[in-house]
Amino acid sequence: MTTDDDRPRSSTTTPPTGARLLSVGATLDAAVAAALRREMRALLARSADPIVVDLTAVRATDRTAASEALRDLASEAGEADVDLRVARDPAAREVNRALLGDERLFEVYPDLDAALDGATGASAPDDGAGRPAAPGER
């Protein structure tokens, strides 16, 4: 069951990256996925700064809704020429498989700090399974 704590929350981070942050709570179901899409569209309408989707707290997910939402977010970000980064918790392996699978439409980072620092080159994205992404697969 979705609670208010699970609903995506957006905020703008401070320089140097200027990345905008969308944080998701412990559950990512169809209702949260729909809210995530709405928040993303609002952020895309305001600027072209990178967007970080923070999935580090997610512990339960509706695989279909989550996967579809992430594909939609990646497509919309691509059309807007906006860098989309996804931060996830490497320890949540089952959730990671459900959320990310073999996704190559966005950059996947092992934690929120790495995703926020992505524009500065402070940390390289990984492939969603904890391995560095191959060049051209970011």
| Model confidence pLDDT, tens digit, residues 1-36 | 555 565 666 555 544 667 888 999 999 999 999 999
Q: Are 56 and 87 in contact (CB under 8 A)?
A: yes
The pTM (predicted TM-score) of the whole model is 0.75
- Domain 9-120, what architecture? 2-Layer Sandwich (3.30)
Identity at 24, one-letter amino acid code: V
Which band of pLDDT confidence, cut at 50, 70 and 90, is reported for residue 93? confident
